[in-house]
Structure 1
């Protein structure tokens, strides 16, 4: 491993040296004597070369020197050498790690300009709408001086506004909205209705958040159905009557919850449903499991908030409301029932794609973030993208103090409040990063009760984000925030006005305090990276306790011998071994989560290939490159009759829309079938089979059936037309894209139960067996071809 790491570091440094050499060549070019018009003429000459096939590598020195001069003339900035080297790396399709405050937004303009010259389109994929608009408008003068058009996409825009933005040479858009626009294209019927531009080149901002943390979240486009969940209230009443000590149990890490034998009997009696695990009770079982999960594992103001009469999910990585994101339908409905809200109509999914697979559509890909190295193997394996670490323009003066570890939360918060009081008395600005809305609210109350005024930034007021963050560096400021991933706004010492900067520097700069460690080391590093920008002084420290969620959830306290476990005390623990054990387990957790994401990626490969196949077929039909001969070959009499009544153009449109309609209907049903297959895929563990192999083989078989179903559905419609069950006009009216759709993200945890940490196959067998008991297992798996009773006793006896 060390040897591999050594090779990686050597290769990276060699690359950086080559980029720095190119940066030096760019700096030798002097364009100060040229007028703006002459700059534009030079840019147009480069554009012609690019259109004639000259590569961006051949144009890089002259192109980047033009951008550098344009930056100086429009924004008044001097471009740092490290920014130029980083820009060269981006143009070379690399993922750069640049620390916070080093100017990633400006750096991205260089490769965006150069790759826009070929007129194939460049997308800069940002984390939120605010950043997309801000960065586009901020950088727009640079592009316009060089004759390049720039636009930005917002979720609220009309189709025409989006088409105009995508039609620009450079488009700033969130990765999610770009993905949704791709999905909208995949259900349209006419070429002129297509929204999205080409997938030529993408530069991803906050790349680790988009490509790693949110990569497997499916983006969904759906149409409302009339189906209502009438059973949810009754099911929830049954679930809330269960005894937490005897009726259900959680897995080792609190990620899943299971009914026990006694709990199942209680549910069966309360719902009068007979054997809950019989096939006819599958939907009811799903509702029970969803209600139990919502009741036991999901916490208000931690996992979700209630706003405007709706359940809104909180993003675990950013602490912000995950706009338009839903849990799977059953769990979403269970939460709405839990909070006494209207259970909204369940949607029928038309199509979906994960961010991971959407990003892979781009021919050329580069990215930038402040924390990439910790996930370098994932970036390499899944995206085949190499990381280049860009040194800071000025050496960091940040001091990362050792973590304080307390025996309990009460001692931690008391010490933290005292620390804030002491530091705040000097005027040194403080930023406190918390893990949840609940914690941020609680801590703010404690500070206010101690006479300390503070600003709070969490999912309940995230619309005030920019204003709060930009004031976090002023003299005397205390800001409490949920974690800072993807915030995208620099904290300037002294605020935007730069007031009292020298005084704040003399105090040590911005003091960042973390109240919890996260499962991902990158999240902790992003919080630390909020201070010490551009050589400024800065200070960080984490206050953690042995009662924190991360430590309790993963049983870190179990690693420490009971004889060495300290009693409750107010002071932090002095033994550094506690910090070492906690850091060790945090690294193990991050590695396990990375393994989980890679496994989940394998489960999505076949389905994504099938989705792309269907998308390509639809595009071929829309563009008129697909010949449909069913009508002429299988229904010649009907075909002749239609030719007498309608024009050739009307018949061709009818055939096209009929096929598109049935493709969409069958694909939607196929996705529902795949979801059902995935829900039950863990059963293959009990059969001694590899779930991934079974899943992939099943999808291949089902996809063949899908193709047949599409053809049969089309023929069925022609038969209805032939037999006058439906008229040409009635079918034409039906064969249209849905008028009203809605988009959302699904937090899909259906595979976590057997791929998650600690849930290896044998462990899963034992946990399922012990949780539900032999009787229910026999009922649940009655159709499977192995002796569940013998397997159950064999495993239990072995344990």
Structure 2
């Protein structure tokens, strides 16, 4: 009651924050008339002055990085707004400035589809790029990274900042001004971008001369990756930023590192997709492990003989499958084993478990597709294919065996990091999306990010109808088809959302029977994604789409003139590249006329109709689908059609609803539409979201253990690459190892008579190849003995250094340490993978797996650090450098031996031939007889 009164009197926390930010927007708006009167050159000079001021003032620079509302902020935002007007012809709305303020403060700005998040980010980026520390804009794919960098690059370049782009396959670019010739060809393309108006308020033609745009047109120029990161602003995908961080910690020279500026400020586009949906899968750089994978064919054949609920139990909610006692007995008999759980059988047990999961929990055309003899993962949240990504720990191999395709060798982890730990490295992190509020708790708990819901520029006109629930899937799909047919006859465009490839193809089949023309957008044809989604708003268009629903591409009512112009040219055998400027201009003009007329008709009919064929386990994904309709004040509607046989309802409370429908004797073709049903569905989704949150949180807890170790190793690597004096470090390591052997053979708590001098001398001889004469008739103090041994070892090392020279010795120290460190770290990661798998079994013994993992992983890490010291010192002491003359002699000797072996082989071949000829002659003689 008190909370209700507080909200009524003072507004919600979100409303209070928006009110505060509106007062700053007023200050920004007051500066607009003055800046509007400046020439382009004067405006640029204002920006250059601001850049100089911020970069020469460490306190101010740090305050901006911390997200403070500094005195210079209104001017920076006003400059960015004015630059957008002059270069793009777009004036950001006030709500876009509020969104930019939220991003600057290190918050998540939740903005509806079509509200212009791209321009919002650019304003916050400009302010933070003034520091020169580097700003990263993280997006979901290469296309968006390059497109947004090019479009917004005009603003940054105009204001005196540099921009870079990183794409997959090591492609990278810097954004530069185009010359006159390039501008001419791109003029019409840019015109089309503005006419969409999705970056902000489109200025009227009399206020913006498109021909003047040639001074501000940008192009992407190929560049090296290091230069792209050295720019003030860098656009790229989450995977590439993460992988480049891992690669930087695997290089052998500082010059090979690319993320030169570190991690200061990042804005994550589609933040829910990157920081939540993809956070369950860590980034892994791997190499071949050399393990035999044929075992998966055998375990797959065995698993296919098992009977569900008798030999194994499946828990769909928690995505687990385990053998029963009877199943274990069958496995032991099948593989001729005495005890399946014997440590020697760990590989077979692991392969059986993964084959069981592959056959019971992972389904073709839902979790993966088989394409060109390869198993390709389908992203469960976006529906997109993920070529190159593989499930780890043998699961991918088990699915390959299940599908009968060639099993690719299992890889071993060389470096890995979770998205959570990667993005938590940034001093300031912000994000933007259309759907974040439902995951606000997770964003706060994991990333310390608050969500701010930004008001829309125009009121949302979309009507969200209540869900309809049917008894069976068959009846549900019949009703969906009826509704599509009804809307199609009216001429309303329809977007149908499905949760899997299988469902989208099933619906497509039903529509074909009815003769309804449609497009299918799923993981099998995602290459045409932009084209299909761009035309989904045309009169009578029917589009079936998996959950990707064209994120990043607007559905324009009436269609997209750019794509329609391409179709017009295609009918004439032309493309935008081969057509003359006049031909293209005519095609575009015709396309614009068609789309404008159709837009008006679609608006009159009620806008885009969104139909969901199943509720996703995350409310956020459903909201994304709904958000495809009703952008920027457009009309639209949405409705979800469900059945009691849907996975979500079947697993969470569907039985109660089924009993209710039976009791009320509701016919199969009549749906339930009530608040109780909606509440049950929402509760089911909340439970699944809670489970997924716990999975991600648990993954993070385990990775946090490894992260501390990762930081130690990567910090050591960076010190080595930056030229830290390793000789002093190696002296310390040598002392540690000498003390270890002294504790073993000459313990401080024992009398000298019991010390084993022979073993001590033998150890140093075998380990380092150094003879140390330790007089046994002398009375030794332990400290004195330690100093005596260290003195001899250091003298030996110094002699070696004199022969080689100091600079060469420092180079060998660096190279050897990095080589040993990388090999040990790789093995350590492999051991941690196996440890993580084994500790879960200890839960049955009432022991917390995480506590066990922390304890044993620390012991493994301590062991690895000991081996690092031991092996590095051993290699450096035993290092032998030969002169060029000796190397040439050895080379000549090897060549001589090779020639001798070859001659001997030729002689043997000749002898073999002679024997065969004699044999043949003898056989012929016998035949004659």
**Residues in 2 aligned to 1:375 and 1:68: alpha-carbon distance in whole angstroms:** 31
Match of 1:676?
A: 834
In 1, the alpha carbon distance for the partners of 2:352 and 2:309 equals 18
- Structure 2 partner of 1:541: 639
Taking the aligned partners of 2:297 and 2:394, their CA distance within structure 1 comes to 12
Q: Distance in 2 between matches of 1:527 and 1:592?
A: 22
Aligned partner of 1:751 in structure 2 is: none
How far did 1:650 drift?
A: 1.9
Residues 1:551 and 2:649 are matched in the alignment: yes
1:64 to 69, 77, 97: 77
The Cα shift of 1:697 comes to 2.2
Asked whether 1:445 is paired with 2:509, we answer yes
Equivalent residues in 2 for 1:259-408 (5 A)? 259-408=323-472
The separation in 2 between residues aligned to 1:148 and 1:4, in whole angstroms, is 48
| 1:517-551 deviation digits (Å, cap 9, x = unpaired) | 11111111111011101111010000110001212
Partner of 1:458: 522
Aligned CA distance change for structure 1 residues 200 and 245 (closer, same or farther; 3 Å): closer
Alignment of 1:153-552 (within 5 A): 153-158=166-171, 161-197=224-260, 198-251=262-315, 253=317, 255-484=319-548, 487-497=551-561, 498-499=595-596, 500-552=598-650
1:588 aligns to what? 687
> Paired residue for 1:619, among 718, 739, 744?
718
CA contact (8 A) 1:631 1:718 kept: no
Q: Contact (CA 8 Å) 2:280, 2:695: kept in 1 or not?
A: no
Q: How does 1:65-144 map to 2 (within 5 A)?
A: 65-144=78-157
Q: Is the partner of 1:542 in helix, strand or coil?
A: strand
Deviation at 1:602, TM superposition (A): 2.2
| Residues 694-709 of structure 1 mapped to structure 2, 5 A cutoff | 694-709=852-867
Describe the SS at the equivalent of 1:544. strand
1:171 and 1:2 mapped to 2: Cα distance? 47
Structure 1 match to 2:19 = 17
Deviates more, 1:408-417 or 1:480-489: 480-489
User: 1:389 & 1:489 partners in 2: Cα distance?
Assistant: 21
- Report how far residue 626 of structure 1 moved: 4.7
Q: 2:698 aligns with which of 599, 609, 612?
A: 599
Whichever of the two has the greater Rg, that structure is 2
| Structure 1 residues 9 and 467: CA distance shift in structure 2, 3 A | farther
Alpha-carbon distance change, 72 to 690 in structure 1, aligned in 2, over 3 angstroms = same
* C-alpha deviation, 1:660, in angstroms: 1.0
Q: Cα deviations across residues 184-225 of structure 1 (Å, max 9, x unaligned)?
A: 001111110001142111011111111122123210111224
Matches within 5 A, 1:752-763: none
Is this contact kept in 1: 2:529–2:550, CA < 8 A?
no
Q: List per-residue Cα deviations over 1:8-52 (Å, max 9, x = no partner).
A: 963322221121111111111122221111111011000011102
CA distance in structure 2 between the partners assigned to 1:723 and 1:200 by the alignment? 44
Shift of 1:505: 0.8
Question: Is the contact between residue 408 and residue 568 of structure 1 (CA under 8 Å) also seen in structure 2?
Answer: no
1:584 Cα deviation from its structure 2 partner: 2.3
SS of 1:65's equivalent in the other structure is helix
Report the 3-state secondary structure (helix = DSSP H, G, I; strand = E; otherwise coil) of the residue aligned with 2:600.
helix
Aligned-partner Cα distance in 2 for 1:5–1:210: 37
In structure 2, the CA distance between the partners of 1:2 and 1:425, relative to structure 1 (3 Å rule), is farther
User: Structure 1 length normalisation: TM-score?
Assistant: 0.87
CA contact 2:615–2:622 (8 Å) conserved in 1:
yes
Paired residues of 2:145 and 2:236 also in contact (CA < 8 A): yes
Supply the distance in 2 between the matched residues of 1:9 and 1:201 (Cα, whole angstroms).
Answer: 31
TM superposition shift of 1:486: 7.6
Distance (whole Å) between structure 2 residues aligned to residue 547 and residue 617 of structure 1:
55
Alpha-carbon distance in 2 for matches of 1:627, 1:723:
20
- Structure 1 residue 644 displacement after superposition: 4.3
> Using the alignment, how far apart are the partners of 2:535 and 2:280 within structure 1?
34
8 Å CA contact 2:653, 2:684 repeated in 1: no
Distance 1:253 1:330 in 2: 22
Q: Bigger relative contact order, structure 1 or 2, given CA contacts below 8 A and separation 6+?
A: 1
Q: 1:297 to 1:252 in 2, by over 3 A?
A: closer
1:243-283 Cα offsets, whole Å, 9 max, x none, are 23522121262611111222222222221122211111111
SS at match of 2:279: coil
**Paired residue secondary structure (1:681):** helix
The unaligned stretches of length 5 or more in structure 2 are 65-69, 173-222, 562-594, 735-789, 888-929
Higher helix fraction: Structure 1 or Structure 2? 2
Q: Is 1:38 the equivalent of 2:42?
A: yes
Structure 1 unaligned regions, length at least 5 = 730-799
Q: Is the 8 A contact 1:349 1:672 kept in 2?
A: yes
Asked if the contact 1:433/1:527 (under 8 Å) is kept, the reply is yes
* In structure 1, C-alpha distance between the alignment counterparts of 2:665 and 2:708, rounded to whole Å: 54
Partners of 2:550 and 2:238 in 1: how far apart? 13
CA distance in 1 between counterparts of 2:714 and 2:55 reads 29
> Is the alpha carbon distance of 1:476 and 1:486 closer, same or farther for their aligned partners in structure 2, counting shifts above 3 Å?
closer
Q: Could you list the per-position Cα deviations for residues 660-679 of structure 1 after superposition, in whole angstroms to 9, with x for gaps in the alignment? A: 11111111111111111110
After TM superposition, give the deviation of residue 324 of structure 1 in Å.
Answer: 2.6
| Shift of residue 692, structure 1, vs aligned partner | 2.0
User: How far apart, CA to CA, are the structure 2 residues paired with 1:5 and 1:241?
Assistant: 64
TM-score, length-scaled by structure 2: 0.75
| SS across alignment from 2:36 | coil
Take 2:164 and 2:47, find their aligned partners in 1: how far apart are those partners?
A: 19
CA offset digits 1:364-418 (Å, max 9, x no partner): 1111111111111111111112111100000100100011111011001111011
Say which SS state the counterpart of residue 120 (structure 2) adopts.
Answer: helix
In terms of mean alpha carbon deviation, does 695-704 or 277-286 score higher?
695-704
CA contact (8 A) 2:166 2:225 kept: yes
Task: Determine the structure 2 residue equivalent to 1:787.
Answer: none
Greater Cα shift, 711-720 or 436-445: 711-720
Secondary structure at 2:319 match in 1: coil
Q: How does 1:767-778 map to 2 (within 5 A)?
A: none
SS at match of 2:639: strand
Computed over aligned residues only, the root mean square deviation of the Cα atoms, in angstroms, reads: 2.5
Q: 1 CA distance for matches of 2:5 and 2:523?
A: 39
Q: Distance in 1 between matches of 2:879 and 2:3?
A: 70
The answer to whether residue 147 in structure 2 is matched with residue 147 in structure 1 is no
Instruction: Deviation per CA, 1:684-738: give whole Å up to 9, x if none.
Output: 22221222222222222322222112112213323543799xxx99xxxxxxxxx
Compared CA separation, residues 358 and 254, structure 1 to 2 (3 A): closer
Equivalent position of 1:734 in the other structure: none
Q: What SS does structure 2 have at the residue aligned with 1:147?
A: coil
CA distance in 2, matches of 1:323, 1:112: 31
